[in-house]
Structure formats: structure tokens, C-alpha cells
Amino acid sequence: MKFWAKAASQKAELYIYDAIGQDYFGDGISAKSVNDALKEFKPGVALDVFVNSPGGNVFDGVAIYNQLVRWGGKKTVHIDGLAASIASVIAMAGDEIRIAENGLMMIHKAWGICAGNDDDMLKYAASLKKVSDTIATTYVSRTKGDAKKIEGWMAAETWMNADEAVERGFADVKTGSKAVKAEFAMLAKFTNVPEQLKRQARLPATMCARMDMRTKHLTRRPAGATA
């Protein structure tokens, strides 16, 4: 089970252990599923959010981030394995962000797929830049870091270990190790994946078929942007 929630009288737990945004097969974590889970919690209780995700759809991720920001109780985000791409934005919603000593974060510029002529491509590029700028603003707001530095890290697709994440303000505390793997096929799309994660990434024939189907359905849709 990759997404679930547990509620008690004074505390609630939300586990985000999958890609963000549902695909054509219903896999992945949608903003709606998170919203439905939050409705089951007692308003204002402390919320622990556990993250192990390679990222995914930008707009589902932004919606999840905003849902968590609006939550009335204290929010503690625990990065158990990986908070990459838009999952790192979701992590920024925590009042406190805790990363396992063997955990990783990754930030990068938004990307997507476009089909069309040169005008279509230019419009899509402009849309992607707006998405990237919005993501950068979220990072700057939470980390209090330098905007130019953060934009540079995003452009370079920067992977951070626990110490680097804390040093740069993307996490507040480094915690003990937690044995959580990050075997996500979509890691194959990234450029600078650390070797230990690259060995875990899997891209079986079924995933290739899914990617092929998704590519055929995507045209020039900013809504398809991922991060």
C-alpha cells in the first residue's frame, strides 16, 4: 500500500509513498485522495506526513502542498527515503521537516511534453518557465535561501543528501536511518540520479507501455508538466 492515512484523537498520519498524480491506470497519489484523507482527521490535530516519492504531476503536487499548508494543526514532514521533484515541494509544507540520515531530496526545473509547431513550442516553454518560477518561490519562502542559488540548483537538477538538505534549509533536522527503498521506475527520466538509486530504478515492459500510452495522449498541455 503506497498511500494511506491513520487518525487518532490527538494525532494523524499521512503516508505519501508513491508518484504524485494518478495515471491512466489509476496509480499514483492525487490531490483529491489527499483531500479525502484530510477530511477524515479531527480538525487541528498534529499531522505527521511521511514522504517517499519521486515526484510527478506539478499541479497535483501544488494542490497537495496547499492543502497541507492550510491544515490547522502542527505539520511535521518526515522524508523517509526520497522527496524528489514536486514531492520536495510538498515537503516544504511542514512546520518542521525531518530527513532520515540516508534520505535524499532532489529539485529541478519543470519539464513536460509538447507537440506542435514552433509557436506551440515557444508557448509551452513560457508556461514551463512560469511553473519553475512558482516552484522556486516556494523553495525560497520555506528555506529563506538566495533565489538565484536555488534557481541554479533547479537548473542543474540537484540531489541533496540529509546534511546538504539541512545546510541549505530544505530540512530542519537529520534523523536516524529508516530502511525505506525508493524503487520508482520514473527515476529513469532524471539526469543526475545518484548511483545507489539508479541501481534501484526499474523500467519493465509494462512501464514502457504506460509511458508510450501517456505520450500518445499528451499534446501541448501545461497541465501535463511534471516536477
* pLDDT confidence band for 185 (50 / 70 / 90): low
Amino acid at 14: L
State residue 180's pLDDT score. 59
Question: Is the per-residue pLDDT at 163 higher than 80?
Answer: yes
Mind listing the pLDDT tens digit for each residue in 187-202? 767 777 776 666 655 5
Most confident of the ranges 23-37, 70-84, 211-225: 70-84
Question: Is the per-residue pLDDT at 211 higher than 60?
Answer: no
Known catalytic residue at 85: yes
Question: Is the per-residue pLDDT at 57 higher than 70?
Answer: yes
Known catalytic residue at 217: no
Q: Answer yes or no: are the C-beta atoms of 41 and 56 closer than 8 Å.
A: no
Please give the radius of gyration of the chain, using alpha carbons only, rounded to the nearest integer.
17
Domain range list for the chain: 3-224
State residue 192's pLDDT score. 76
Mean pLDDT of 152-162: 97
* pLDDT confidence band for 22 (50 / 70 / 90): confident
C-alpha cell of residue 26: 489509476
* CATH tag, 3-224: 3.90.226.10
Mean pLDDT of 206-217: 42
Would you state the torsion angle of the CA atoms of residues 175, 56, 135, 162, taken in this order, to the nearest 10 degrees?
A: 20
Nearest CA-CA partner of 170 in 136, 130, 134, 197: 136
Of the residues 30, 108, 127, 132, only one is catalytic, namely 108
Of the residues 85, 88, 127, 132, only one is catalytic, namely 85
C-alpha cell of residue 65: 502542498
CA torsion sign for 200, 201, 207, 208 is negative
* pLDDT confidence band for 46 (50 / 70 / 90): very high
C-alpha cell of residue 8: 487518532
Mind listing the pLDDT tens digit for each residue in 109-149? 998 888 899 999 999 999 999 999 999 999 999 999 999 99
Question: Is the per-residue pLDDT at 50 higher than 70?
Answer: yes
Residue 117 burial (CB < 10 Å; 0-12/13-18/19+)?
exposed
Query: Which pTM does this prediction carry?
Result: 0.80
Q: How many CB atoms lie within 10 A of CB 76?
A: 19
